[in-house]
Chain A
Amino acid sequence: MAALDRVQISKVGKRYGSERALASVTLELTARSMCAVLGHNGAGKSTLLGIVSTLVRPTGGSVAYHAKGHAVTGADVRREIGMLAHASLCYADLTARENLALIAGLYDIDGSPAVIDGLLDQVGLDRRARDRAARTYSRGMVQRLALARALLTRPSLLLLDEPFTGLDRDGALSLGAQLGALRDAGAIVVVVTHDLEAIADRTDHVAILRRGQLVFEERGTYTYDQLKDVYHRHAN
């Protein structure tokens, strides 16, 4: 299956009962870009990510996925999605290696010890912790495992919800650099975050949501100060 190179979000809305979480959001995500989705708590960022991940059904509008000009649907889309959510999406009673081997099996990809260890090295998960149940991990270690889980499948659409949570400053900056590398390798990276410093100079597409509405969208590279400025001007 070819990698996704364009995701078209058209007039997407979502209501939870009488509560409106998103209202008519239109956004185009393209390959080799890192889109930062910003906004205050409750602005609809996670809901938007959930909809793009296919795990939340929009109440209005649609999301279309494309690869080399062809529409992609169903399991072929899910195969291309890597997700790092608020929760780790990993089993607390399994070890890091077992968690990744399970995912490799479900995605029918190489889950050999060499591949898994290589990835765990890449995200910086301590070697001594890899055969311990994930339940015993610190918040930062869980976050590294969750990132390894998201990267294992070599996704072309990487959705990250607060990926810097629990990481120390070095870890956050290193993750920012890894996301930049993935973007440069051709992936569509979408980051929901409040940590503007970690994504400054790396993001090339900024979307700001306020109370479920897209109030700002622009492509371009942003310094930390520029990001802070647009955030304060539009998110409040």
Chain B
Amino acid sequence: MAMFRQAARVAWKDLRIELRSREIVYTMVFFGALLVVIYSFAFPHEPRAVRGSVPGMLWVALAFTGTIGLGRAFDRERENDTMRALLLAPVPRLAVFLGKAMSTTALVLAVAVVCTPLLALFLDAPLFAYPGPMILIVVLGAIGISVTGSVFAATLLKVRSRDVLLPVILYPLLVPLFVAGTSCTAALVAEIPNFDAAWYWIHFLGIYDAAFLVLSIWVFESLVIE
């Protein structure tokens, strides 16, 4: 319990700073909204085409904005070497990792809260036809992006070309997450929804998140200590 309390403390610290500056969330939401606007001009609005392309649009938006959020959230820890202060504290280093992942998840979800309705509105996409599984897959996706991304963002903290390296390293690892996210969304927005497929991909994403959470917990400490 103490570890989760400390993780929550780290996450709350991030969110408190973000609520004050709103620097990351504004950048992420603006970029996400911009992507949706570009999609609405670039892709056909014919219902059948929209059902085929909107899952990809949503998950590309989440992936791109998530990477921006991850990069900036960890850049903040670089500013006064505050990551050192966190790692020096007598809390399990796992709590530091979980706290950073929790705050990043909140930022990715904030983007999803804006982008999903915008996509539904601009492209007349039936993204809210089945809100329960839709919310579930987006939350699992946000957790997956944040957990996997936090490990690499922390590892690359002292690397000069981290902005370029983060997506290059991260996206290949996120491929299963994108496949699951887009497939589940496609199953939900199809003319005849396929709930069996949707639940399969939700389970798949749950297992993906759990696997990467365990892996991240295992490697985090050894990767962040110089």
Say yes or no for A93: interface residue by CB 8 A criterion.
yes
B residues within 8 A CB of A78? 88-90
B226 touches A55 (CB 8 A): yes
A89 pairs with B21, CB closer than 8 A: no
For A140, the chain B residues whose CB sits under 8 A away are none
A148 shortest CB reach to chain B, Å: 13
Q: How many residues of A contact B (CB 8 A)?
A: 31
Which residue of chain B has the shortest Cβ distance to A94 in the bound complex? B17
CB proximity of B2 to chain A, nearest CB, Å: 8
Chain B residues near A54 (CB, 8 Å)? 88, 225
Q: Are B91 and A89 in contact (CB under 8 A)?
A: no
Q: Please, which residue of chain A has its CB at the minimum distance from the CB of B77?
A: A91
Q: Which of B6, B13, B21 lies at the interface centre, i.e. has the most chain A CB atoms within 10 A of its CB?
A: B13
The answer to whether the Cβ of B9 comes within 8 Å of any Cβ in the partner chain is yes
Does A103 touch B at the CB level, under 8 Å?
yes
Asked if A183 is an interface residue, CB under 8 A from chain B, the answer is no
Q: How many A-B residue pairs have CB under 8 A?
A: 75
Pick from A25-33, A80-88, A165-173 the stretch touching chain B.
Answer: A80-88
Task: Assess whether A103 is in contact with B90, with CB atoms less than 8 Å apart.
Answer: no
> Could you tell me if A55 and B88 are in contact, using CB atoms closer than 8 angstroms?
yes
Q: Chain A residues near B38 (CB, 8 Å)?
A: none
Beta-carbon contact of A107 and B89 below 8 Å: yes
A106 touches B89 (CB 8 A): yes
Q: Are A50 and B226 in contact (CB under 8 A)?
A: yes
A66 interface residue per 8 A CB criterion: no
Q: B85 touches which one: A56, A57, A90, A105 (CB < 8 A)?
A: A90
Q: Which residues of A contact B (CB under 8 A)?
A: 50, 53-57, 75-76, 78-79, 81, 83, 85-94, 98, 102-103, 105-108, 133, 149
Given A75-B91, A87-B82, 11 new contacts (CB under 8 A): A53-B88, A56-B226, A78-B88, A81-B88, A87-B84, A90-B80, A93-B21, A94-B16, A103-B89, A105-B9, A106-B89
Provide 26 A-B residue pairs closer than 8 Å at the C-beta atoms, listed in order of the A residue.
A54-B88, A55-B225, A55-B226, A75-B92, A78-B90, A79-B90, A86-B81, A87-B81, A87-B84, A88-B81, A89-B81, A89-B84, A89-B85, A89-B88, A90-B82, A91-B17, A91-B76, A93-B20, A93-B21, A94-B16, A98-B16, A103-B85, A106-B10, A106-B91, A107-B89, A133-B20
